[in-house]
Structure 1
Amino acid sequence: MPLPAQPLRQLGFLTIGLFDPADPGRGHESTLRLVELGEELGFDSAWVRHRHLQYGISSPVAVLAAASQRTERIELGTAVIPLGWENPLRLAEDLATVDLLSGGRLNPGVSVGRPGHYDRVASALYPHTAEAEDFGYDRVRRLLDFLRGEPATDFDGVEGIEVYSDRVQPVSPGLAGRLWYGGGSLRSARWAGEQGLSLLTSNVVRAEESEDFAEIQRSQIAAFRARHPEGGRARVSQGLVVIPTDSASAEQRAKYRDYVRGRTPRTAAPQGPARTVFAPDLIGTSTEIAEQLYSHAAFREVDEVVFALPFSFGHEDYVQILTDIATRLAPALGRQPTL
């Protein structure tokens, strides 16, 4: 097995936090238990995905607030919050509050763009301003300004017995420096670099210069670092779906392979008008997955990963996968468990 240029430095995982609409509390509790398990297994970070009008986590900041009170060390991230659904000022208040509650462990990841199925949700989301809303990068800039403590109003002082600040409160020092941007195109990668943000890459990219997923992702990482003030030291985290089967039962292996088999056809060619390219899910023993990662052009450019858990598995499946990642796959990638 070839050795990487440097060992894996940061090990994270991502969950969508699916739940049964008949019993949503149970699903949210499962997510919190996985975060606790991640800390016990020595993961450096746990991330939650954001889903609106679906049976997954719709309020990641609230979920991470709860997770912050049940963990002590593990970093907590969002991958990603689509800002088209958010008011940057209100989101800045929530993020800063949770960062303080966690002791400075929050890693907010955001993205921009029109909300999905906007024609169906616009009247509920922005009933009077749907056509005037700007879903571009300015929302990220506003969020950054608020997190950095830039003025949000021209008034501060005392009015009666009330004391007002001209800045978003609370302020959590250092939080703005931990903002990540989730990008899948060359334009977004370059922009994130110019803003000095960190870059979250996932298993979805846009075919622009190539149709090979690994090469597309490698090119985007290079474009990001070329524009970033820190150059090659700029933080990039890669998120792929990996399913180690080392300790899986025969029944679990069969289920996992059926899952991967059903998703593989979409990886054969760019999909839709946006020419979306999906990465193949990686399944097998930890040794086999490590070999595939070492041969992955983009993986060779990073030393941080946020491995994504499959969408539709059960809690015990996730326990097995996380345990194998931490105790078998991570060492195969040059990182020893920090239990």
Structure 2
Amino acid sequence: MHPRPLRRMGFLTIGLFDGDDPAAGHESTLAIIELGERLGFDSAWLRHRHLQYGISSPVAVLAAASQRTSRIEFGTAVTPLGWENPVRLAEDLATVDILSGGRLNPGVSVGPPMNFDRLKDALYPDTADREDFSYARVERLLAAIRGDRLTDFEGVDEIEVHSSRAQPHSPGLASRMWYGGASLGSARWAGANGMNFLTSSVVKAEEDDDFDRIQLSHIEAFRSAHAAGNGARVSQGLVVIPTDSATPSQRARYQEYADARLSRTRSPVGPARLLFAPDLVGTSEQLVEQLQARAAFREIDEVAFALPFSFDHDDYVQILTDMATTLGPALGWSPAGGLEE
């Protein structure tokens, strides 16, 4: 099977920062997003981290990015809804979508927050045992974003004007909602509920121990359940590190990073049987060969290549530049708006 030409290319970053100087890391993330726009990337995606030294509020960071850019789209990959009130989040997402001119692609997932037993008294001191962390939480978010009625009350109360739906309302946002799934069940649910689907470098080994076959099965299950069929949007997010213009020391550090994470890719990990894809490091020519050898990659035409967690700002500049100028075009991609100098 011939791979689909790459139609849309984005990148994903954790937005690492120093706890003693968080402003510098956040500024670096904003500068990387601005660079992404100049290089012609279609989208920039932020990971979501709580009680860690990565971006905890991508919505706030993307609101800032929306005022520094004019074209590049934004995404979250992913916002864990166990931390969120769906109605309040819907208000924030719609606000940023409007501020950005309709460029937001929120990605979400469900399940209990990581380390929930250790933080539930701080997060949900009165309701921890009653919180619903199922897909119903996504349904509440989607309803608010669609503009469904949330209350029977609307109209004027003295001098205050009230709406029965979440405000502001951004009409196109509902069609740009993504679900980040690692299981067959999540893939089917996302398709059946008309969402777009994010698949990453982590899957659950439920029926197979081969990463590529598992990921392909998720893509097929999603599209089979989606009303748009093979036209349903899927984005893949592997860690891909081109080295075309890297210095020898950068290439050595990149390979060391990938090698240190290789052992977790050999067999499923933990009770959830999580299986990780190897990080890909090499020249664009080598990366094209490796990517196109993957059946799952041949089925998609959108990617959000993940940037490694712990690299320096200059490393990200080199990686993104090589992606935009060499790797992307070799995969059939063209920079949006023409590559700026």
- TM-score, structure 2 as length reference: 0.98
Report what 2:29 is aligned to.
Answer: 31
Q: CA deviation at 1:322?
A: 0.3
Partners of 1:49 and 1:155 in 2: CA distance: 37
Which of the numbers 122, 128, 148 marks the counterpart of 2:126? 128
Provide the C-alpha distance between the structure 2 equivalents of 1:57 and 1:273, rounded to a whole number of angstroms.
Answer: 28
For 1:79, the equivalent position in structure 2 comes to 77
Q: Which amino acid aligns with 2:49?
A: R
> Could you give the per-residue CA deviations for residues 123-170 of structure 1, whole angstroms, max 9, x where no partner exists?
000000000001000011011010011011110011111111111000
Question: What corresponds to 1:318 in structure 2?
Answer: 316
Runs of 4 or more consecutive aligned structure 1 residues displaced over 3 Å after TM superposition: none
- Separation of aligned partners in 2, 1:50 and 1:251: 30
CA deviation profile, 1:251-275 (whole Å, cap 9, x unmatched): 1011111101100010010000100
Percentage of pairs with the same residue: 69
- Could you say which residue in structure 1 is the equivalent of 2:231? 233
How far the C-alpha of 1:77 sits from its partner, in A, is 0.4
Distance 1:13 1:4 in 2: 24
Q: 2: CA distance between counterparts of 1:196 and 1:120?
A: 35
Q: Report the Cα offset of residue 208 of structure 1.
A: 1.2
Does the residue aligned with 2:216 lie in a helix, a strand or coil? helix
Any gaps of 5 or more consecutive residues in structure 1?
A: none
Q: How does 1:188-203 map to 2 (within 5 A)?
A: 188-203=186-201
Displacement of 1:5:
3.7
Amino acid at match of 2:262: T
| Aligned position for 1:60 | 58
1:289 counterpart (274, 287, 290): 287
Q: Report how far residue 293 of structure 1 moved.
A: 0.4
How many angstroms apart in 2 are the aligned matches of 1:277 and 1:330?
A: 26
- In structure 2, C-alpha distance between the alignment counterparts of 1:299 and 1:7, rounded to whole Å: 10
In 2, the alpha carbon distance for the partners of 1:24 and 1:4 equals 45
Deviation readout 1:194-237 (Å, 9 max, x if unpaired): 00100000000000121111110000000000000000000000
Match of 1:91 in 2: 89
Alignment CA distance shift 1:224-1:19 (3 Å)? same
Other-structure match for 2:249: 251
SS, match of residue 330 in structure 1: helix
Aligned to 1:156: 154
Task: Report the residue type matching 1:271 in the other structure.
Answer: V
Query: For residues 44 and 151 of structure 2, what CA distance do their matches in structure 1 show?
Result: 35
**For 2:42 and 2:236, how far apart are their aligned partners in 1?**
14
Q: For residue 7 of structure 2, what is the amino acid of its counterpart?
A: R
Question: Pairwise CA RMSD of aligned residues?
Answer: 0.8
